[in-house]
Amino acid sequence: MKRWMANPIVRETVRIVAAVGLALLLGFIITLFVSEDPLNAYRSFLLGPLTRLNRIGDWLEESITLIFLGLATAIVFKAELFSLGAEGQMVLGALTAGVVSLYVPLPPALRLPLALLAAMVVGFLWGAIPGILKANLNANELVSSLMLNTIALKIYEWLLTFYIKPPNAGYTASDFFPKEGVLPNFFPPIPGLEGVRQTLVNQTNLTIMLYIMLAAIFVVYFLMYRTPFGYELRMVGINLKFARYGGVDIKKVIILAMAVSGIFAGLAGAHLAMGIHTKLILNITFGLGFEGVVVALLARNNPLAVPFTGLAYGYLRAGADVMERASDMSREMVLVIQAIIILLVTAERVLPMVQKRIAASRSNGEGAAAAAEGGSHAA
């Protein structure tokens, strides 16, 4: 078979593209059965997010959240810790970022960094709790992190309802953040391009969080693959007994992994509050916390792959939104199609079969490869 197939990145990409293709085909078949106008419905699903500037903006904004969450999840998963605490850390990140943006009387140059920092710190601390419980009491991190999600959500709702919401407001939300507490648009005010900037500001909420996200990707990558902590994290994930035997402090790694993961979930929360909504609302997370799991799984917990899987998954969600609004497809059907795609992409068994065939025909030498290309026993 072709030499380039030997490259694991290429193979992995082929694997994912093929799975997505198959899933989209299945999705279309479902659409055929459900929709009166399947072609248009499916087109809005596939192309919808790109049709208008504000839709592109929506897609990218949500992708930023997903990428932060994917990074957070990749960190804990890399240590084989099945913590699902990103939701809670995110909601508290949104809360603290919001409180700082609303109430701390500082100029933007100080207020914004302080808000982000506060979200990171609270994510770190909230993440450390299940870590400490796991390390010292051997409490299952999956259960404790889920419980803590509920606690975080209720704290958020309670504070929002009874303290933050203006008394005369008709619905449960804070005031819009003052100008000093809103993140600037990602597009810098370049002389001569004010028009472009104005259009972007009007149509999207894409803020400088974009750059913070890019930085975060590299921070997580270097943390994981270049620092002693990253080494410990990975060794604990691969073989805990080996790490212990070698002298790694397992408890420290467990607590730190969960806490550091919380930093990025906290940033996701700050993005929701300061970038997208510019106020605190009920259900601010929309359950997005768990979507980080999908993003991290698709990326195989590789931080450099997270932006790609985050964008792809974000696109899927955005397309589903458009399809729901622009066609007769119900939200439920859209979710079914989405789930099929995820299932197929994450199912480890679907494409390795093809890979195995490819590998087998390669090891059988040129003759077999030629035969395979001739179609006599093509995979």
- Residue 261's contacts (CB-CB under 8 Å, 6 or more residues apart) are 72, 73, 75, 76, 83, 85, 86, 89, 127
- For residue 138, give the 3-state DSSP assignment: coil
Using CB under 8 A as the binding rule, whether residue 300 contacts another protein is answered as: no
Shortest Å distance, C-beta 9 to another protein: 15
User: Under rule CB under 8 A, which residues in 301-360 are in contact with another protein?
Assistant: 359-360
Note whether 242 binds another protein by CB under 8 A: yes
Alpha-carbon Rg for the chain, nearest whole angstrom, is: 23
The answer to the question of residue 154 lying near another protein (CB under 8 A) is no
How many residues in the shown chain lie near another protein by CB under 8 A?
25
Strand partners, 173: 281
By C-alpha distance, which of 148, 94, 103 is closest to 122? 94
Q: How far is the CB of 6 from another protein (least distance, A)?
A: 8
Decide: is 7 part of the binding site for another protein (CB under 8 A).
Answer: no
Choose which of 249, 281, 308, 369 interacts with another protein (CB under 8 A): 249
Those residues with Cβ within 8 angstroms of residue 202's Cβ, 6 or more apart along the chain or in another chain: none
Q: Does 227 bind another protein (CB under 8 A)?
A: yes
Q: Which is nearer to another protein, 174 or 361 (CB)?
A: 361
**238 near another protein (CB under 8 A):** yes
Cα distances (Å, whole numbers) of residue 144 to 134, 170, 327:
9, 35, 41
> Under the criterion CB under 8 A, does residue 363 sit at the interface with another protein?
yes
In the bound state with another protein, the residue whose beta carbon lies nearer, of 43 and 300, is: 300
Only segment of 104-112, 134-142, 225-233, 277-285 that touches another protein (CB under 8 A): 225-233
Kindly tell me which of 188 and 228 has the beta carbon lying closer to another protein: 228
Neighbour tally for 189: CB within 10 Å: 11
Q: 184 in the Ramachandran plot: left (φ > 0), alpha (ψ -120 to 50) or beta? A: beta
User: Which residues of this protein are in contact with another protein, per CB under 8 A?
Assistant: 6, 222, 226-228, 231, 234-235, 238-239, 241-249, 359-360, 362-365
